[in-house]
Structure 1
């Protein structure tokens, strides 16, 4: 009886201190991140037949005084997309997104209904380009397992309101190390339950105290296309002119 009592106490203690899926998501959300980032990346789009298109993109990101994030992307090459600019501004109720297409000569706001549309011909959608609110989903810790040499939490996230999400289910492999806490694999299921896309992150590198992905790949299993973002240059916590995140910059491409 004493042995059973000890085992019972051990089991109850492990349950009390067990990590939940929501715990993991909250740890990831509150992990310290850079105040600003500046990146030069190559974006490679691979068609189902194996042909490739390359894009060069410069990206800046920061957090404002209210700890809300801003991100601007400027396409530098090739000529067909040069000077296309894409702005994301976080607010209390979500994200606002605008895009400037030189061929049209005007700024277009990305409506919430367009969130599942492809971003610049890639396998990333507009909503994929910005983070969601963890409170929009129910999260469940499925298991813990090793992946690519990292011990990971495997967390399933299901939208509370399917009409507000392009995906019916997400499963993420999140590195357990509290210094990293980055998802290195994400399975994205459509609302019919099919595995639609898989996002993978590779070549993590610690830069000035922060872990930065070397490459991010989105593979579409339904159309055999993929898009890969490869970091060529990364700077963190450097001063960034806040005028970059104003709508005026989208049109002019210039800061005061």
Structure 2
């Protein structure tokens, strides 16, 4: 017998941060150019934000790859762990001047299995995001409001503002120094036979 749908609703705060992290805060244009001069601290923050939110891509999917899907591990106050396996699809290719990006997350394993979430991020920085959750046991989509910055996230000491909703303009950035990185970064190499 399946668990009641209300158990899934109780997990919405955790679900929100897991999915919304890359989408929730905008404030950086999708076409942010790479700096041609030495960037200052604010420019570095904008560039990091741009890359972390997948804005360089028109569409991006985080799904099955050679080492498995994304697994999120959360530790509850009692010390036990729960895991969620999530597949994410991000679409940044909207030219209507209204929608900036949409992200769909589908949970494949764990307590939220088959639950889906759609987050719509708007070009207008003052507009709240729309959040829709597909609850398979109810066979319905439910909309919920964007949480406040100070609300605790998933039973942790962090707030939504700490983790997801803060924009680069909400903080003061300071460049503490520069250092030359003398090595090449290693990249994941996937054998051709694993791709096809």
Supply the RMSD in Å over aligned alpha carbons. 4.1
- Other structure's SS at 2:172 match: strand
Structure 1 residue 142: Cα displacement: 4.9
**Matches of 1:131 and 1:205, distance apart in 2:** 30
Structure 1 residue 112: Cα displacement: 2.9
**Matches of 2:104 and 2:157, distance apart in 1:** 19
What CA deviation, in whole Å up to 9, does each residue of 1:192-223 have, x standing for no partner?
Answer: xxxxxxxxxxxx85579xxxxxxxxxxxxxxx
Question: What TM-score comes out, normalization by structure 2 length?
Answer: 0.51
Matched residue, 1:195: none
Matched residue, 1:247: none
Matched residue, 2:102: 70
Contact 1:64 1:70 in 2 (8 A): no
Q: How does 1:99-178 map onto structure 2 within 5 Å?
A: 99-114=133-148, 116=151, 118=153, 132-135=166-169, 137-144=170-177
Structure 1 residue 87: Cα displacement: 1.0
Higher share in strand: 1
**Matches of 1:82 and 1:97, distance apart in 2:** 18
- Other structure's SS at 1:25 match: helix
* Runs of 5+ consecutive residues of structure 1 not aligned to the other structure: 1-16, 152-179, 181-203, 209-234, 236-256
- Other structure's SS at 2:61 match: strand
**Matches of 2:157 and 2:118, distance apart in 1:** 18
* Runs of 5+ consecutive residues of structure 2 not aligned to the other structure: 1-36, 63-68
Matched residue, 1:58: 87
Which of 80, 105, 121 lines up with 1:90 in the alignment? 121
Alpha-carbon spacing, 1:207–1:25, altered in 2? closer, same or farther (3 Å): farther
List structure 1 segments (4+ residues) > 4 angstroms apart after TM superposition. 29-32, 121-132, 204-208
- Other structure's SS at 1:143 match: coil
Contact 2:147 2:160 in 1 (8 A): no
Alpha-carbon spacing, 1:20–1:51, altered in 2? closer, same or farther (3 Å): same
**Matches of 1:54 and 1:92, distance apart in 2:** 33
